[in-house]
Structure 1
Amino acid sequence: MNQLNCLPQDAVLWGHDILPAAAASLGKHAIRRPLTFTVEPLLGFHAQHLQPHVQGAAGIFTDLPPHAPDTGVRRALDACVRAGADSIIALGGGSVLDAAKAVSHLHHRQTGRYLPIAAFPTTLSGSEFSHYFGVTETSGPKPFKRSHAVRETVPKVVALDPLLLRHTPRELLLSSAIKGIDHAVEGMRRIDADHPHAMLAAAGVARFFSVLEKWPGQLDTAQALATGRITADDLLQLQLAAWQSYFFPASVVYGLSHRIGHILGGTFGLPHSVTSCITLAPVLRACGARYGDKLRIFCAGRAGHDAAAMLADRIARSVTQLGLPDRLRTLGFDRAQLAQVAALLRQHYPDEVGDLGDGHDAALDALLESLW
């Protein structure tokens, strides 16, 4: 039986220069007395573009480390309780969104009430459209980023305005686009090519490539805009691509690229978005038989028989042309730690490791070695 599972989002608002109107409308969607979760570099942006238009704000909280460690999530929950916050505005990337969802979930466990979230995303991974969030557990012998899925924590309102991306550091912005492509592609793991996710994800990936493949080398976003090489509409296309790539997250289950990324990030501290630049293309090649012909939906108009390899090659070319990291060694990752990564994958994600097919244990070691 085919099935489409939907999440309880109220509204997605998008367009140029919509932030004042979007912020002013939050009360219509039960975003009242919000505490804003953000990071220090975005305080000026918040003060200029959001704060003047938000009614009854409860304050701002910025102590949000990468990968949402459980200690940081508890501090954020305490801040919400102390401020008497009834909702959360999340301004930032995936770690800010993860923390907001985790706090909403824990607030429900503590009080019986979820804190509704309004998302103003500054990256392109698409976390604002999902009920998934990762929290890095710090009490064990090594940190471990555990995934959670709580449908009530999906942001009630999402605002997409190119202005949100203008000051995002180049590597973070572009690598988060590769993470968005990762959501589109690995979302095919347990569905067929006629599923609504597949159709929207294919359109999203095409949008991503239409901008990424013309992005000028080594120019940050402000420079690319100033020279006219990239336009504000290109940035909006990237935001819409992230949405299409992650349109039905409750209906899909992700795979080995995501799982390796969680371990590299949560346990070893690598930047979350950058991991997909390193993992996605090699994982596609290694797990191509698992996906079969259904990845052809991402290769429209391109000749060839091995859709997984074709798509992997295109992703790898984009990563290279954009100057993004494509090997663990470029991030200073110790090769000796690959054995620990393999052990954690086998312990926590045996199904995803099984996507490598017969001889998956040896194939996993070879795959991880190729990532280094």
Structure 2
Amino acid sequence: MIKAGRYDFLAQDGVLFGTPCVQAVVQTVEELGARRVFLVSSRSLSRKTEVVTGIAAALGERCCGLFDECVAHVPRESVFRALEAIRAAQPDLIVTIGGGTPIDTVKMLLICLAEDLHSPAQLDVFAIRVLADGNKHVPAIRNPPVRQIVIPTTLSGAEFSNLAGCIDSKRRVKDLFTGREIGAQRVILDPAITVHTPDWLWISTGMRAIDHAAETICSRNPQPFTDATCLHGLAMLADSLRETKSDPRQMEARLNSQLAVWLCCTGLNRIEWGASHGIGHQLGAVADVPHGHTSCVMLHNVLRYNRVANKERQVLISQAMRRPDTDAGDLIEELVADLGMPTRLRDVGVRRDQFAAIAAASMQSMMVKTNPRPITGPEQILEILEEAW
């Protein structure tokens, strides 16, 4: 039987790389004809560097406001605080500067604008859900009245997806949401501003992007296009992260990492992923583990768990990392250790008494349901967590 499939490209009209971000923002704003530009950023970037003030100054009267109170893991309440500021300013373009937290905050508030939502509880209807039969339900989201352009300062890859994660604080579960136009309309990659990113955050989010690539390559439904991009991106990112670890001021290595993330993210929300992401999301929700660190501790363990189901796909990872005779899980763990990142759950503050809550929440994840080695109950999640401990 001839293989059938589908690949959806993002509603993204371009990526600018290597141009100073201030120049690139002004150029983009002029090309898009925007007159009221609202800035969203992390607090540290806004208040401890001149990056955000420099962009605001270059925009002049076109800058209509700033929100810099984004909260890690994007709790729903923080989204609505940002939404209030956006509604008051009425921008025709949002410029998001920072990592996955501000980027996902804007994605979520764009959903709220598109659907005219006014309370966190209303988001329940629009979360991606796993149905009783194991299939996923993806609610239709209207296109928002405004788009965002993104200047990323980490390597998580949120700028290259239309998927957002948001925590329901009452349930202590991270839900996923998607909409065609909630992601970046345009991405600006400027390595010079990433020197403000703490080294641990830069490197750990790089591992997050490697996780994106690995779970795309090892998907139960891989595609040739994403094989090509992700295998090259994985090799490129592993090399450039080691270079950056050795010399954090090496701009070429930092830009290569950013470009590698672009390649590693071609499967994000378009190819079925597995338990590394599915469990990782809930490590953040239950135990407040940073995104990058969840990949550092989970990916190699999930690869080992899945090896009986997709050994031949994992060999592709080993080949890309130029050691075809070494187990992919071992290579990933070695890379994490070489980069000085944590490799075990105990190293990132996860307690054994949290395992049951993590396992229960993970079973609600569509990514756990699409793991290459079927996971049918929380006891299998507990097995992986124990191995990762």
| Shorter-chain TM-score above 0.5 | yes
- d(CA) in 2 for partners of 1:359 and 1:73? 33
Letter paired with 2:50? F
Counterpart position of 1:94:
100
Quote how far apart the aligned CAs of 1:182 are: 0.7
From 189, 205, 224, give the equivalent of 2:248.
224
In the TM superposition, what whole-angstrom CA distance separates every residue of 1:318-339 from its partner, at most 9, and x where no partner exists? 1111111111212222211112
- Distance of aligned partners of 1:334 and 1:294 in 2 relative to their CA distance in 1, 3 Å threshold: closer
Counterpart position of 2:214:
185
Letter paired with 1:79? A
- d(CA) in 1 for partners of 2:89 and 2:367? 42
Counterpart position of 1:38:
41
In the TM superposition, what whole-angstrom CA distance separates every residue of 1:9-45 from its partner, at most 9, and x where no partner exists? 0110001x42132111222235541211112211233
**Count of equivalent residues:** 354
Q: What is the SS of the residue equivalent to 1:91?
A: strand
From 274, 277, 284, give the equivalent of 1:258.
277
Letter paired with 2:69? D
- Distance of aligned partners of 1:358 and 1:174 in 2 relative to their CA distance in 1, 3 Å threshold: closer
User: What are the equivalent positions in structure 2 for 1:1-372 lying under 5 Å apart?
Assistant: 1-15=4-18, 17-27=19-29, 28-29=31-32, 31-43=34-46, 44-54=49-59, 56-110=62-116, 113-138=144-169, 140=170, 142-188=171-217, 189-192=219-222, 195-216=224-245, 224-225=248-249, 231-300=250-319, 301-304=322-325, 310-349=327-366, 351-352=368-369, 355-357=372-374, 362-372=379-389
- Distance of aligned partners of 1:337 and 1:22 in 2 relative to their CA distance in 1, 3 Å threshold: same
- d(CA) in 2 for partners of 1:360 and 1:88? 42
- d(CA) in 2 for partners of 1:334 and 1:353? 26
- Distance of aligned partners of 1:42 and 1:234 in 2 relative to their CA distance in 1, 3 Å threshold: same
Quote how far apart the aligned CAs of 1:47 are: 4.0
In the TM superposition, what whole-angstrom CA distance separates every residue of 1:293-350 from its partner, at most 9, and x where no partner exists? 133332335333xxxx722212111111111111121222221111221122234458
- Distance of aligned partners of 1:259 and 1:8 in 2 relative to their CA distance in 1, 3 Å threshold: same
Q: Percent sequence identity over matched residues?
A: 28
Quote how far apart the aligned CAs of 1:363 are: 3.7
Quote how far apart the aligned CAs of 1:81 are: 0.5
What is the TM-score normalised by the length of structure 2? 0.85
What is the TM-score normalised by the length of structure 1? 0.88
Checking the alignment, whether the CA contact within 8 Å between 2:375 and 2:381 is kept in structure 1 is: no
Letter paired with 1:163? A
Checking the alignment, whether the CA contact within 8 Å between 2:243 and 2:253 is kept in structure 1 is: no
Checking the alignment, whether the CA contact within 8 Å between 1:353 and 1:360 is kept in structure 2 is: no
Stretch of structure 1 that moved more, 342-351 or 31-40: 342-351
Stretch of structure 1 that moved more, 174-183 or 53-62: 53-62
- Distance of aligned partners of 1:110 and 1:290 in 2 relative to their CA distance in 1, 3 Å threshold: same
- d(CA) in 1 for partners of 2:220 and 2:33? 35
Stretch of structure 1 that moved more, 37-46 or 25-34: 25-34
In the TM superposition, what whole-angstrom CA distance separates every residue of 1:95-153 from its partner, at most 9, and x where no partner exists? 11100111111111119743200100000011101000011112x3x321101121111
Letter paired with 2:221? I
- d(CA) in 2 for partners of 1:90 and 1:82? 17
Checking the alignment, whether the CA contact within 8 Å between 2:37 and 2:93 is kept in structure 1 is: yes
- Distance of aligned partners of 1:265 and 1:25 in 2 relative to their CA distance in 1, 3 Å threshold: same
Q: What is the SS of the residue equivalent to 1:81?
A: helix
In the TM superposition, what whole-angstrom CA distance separates every residue of 1:64-85 from its partner, at most 9, and x where no partner exists? 1101110010111110011122
Counterpart position of 1:220:
none
Q: What is the SS of the residue equivalent to 1:13?
A: strand
Stretch of structure 1 that moved more, 106-115 or 352-361: 352-361
Structure 2 unmatched runs, 5+? 118-141
- Distance of aligned partners of 1:274 and 1:162 in 2 relative to their CA distance in 1, 3 Å threshold: same
Checking the alignment, whether the CA contact within 8 Å between 2:220 and 2:372 is kept in structure 1 is: no
Quote how far apart the aligned CAs of 1:240 are: 0.4
- d(CA) in 1 for partners of 2:42 and 2:270? 31
- d(CA) in 1 for partners of 2:364 and 2:89? 40
Letter paired with 2:181? E
Letter paired with 1:296? V
Checking the alignment, whether the CA contact within 8 Å between 2:287 and 2:349 is kept in structure 1 is: no
Q: What is the SS of the residue equivalent to 1:88?
A: strand
Structure 1 unmatched runs, 5+? 218-222, 226-230
Quote how far apart the aligned CAs of 1:158 are: 0.3
- Distance of aligned partners of 1:224 and 1:7 in 2 relative to their CA distance in 1, 3 Å threshold: closer
Q: What is the SS of the residue equivalent to 1:146?
A: strand
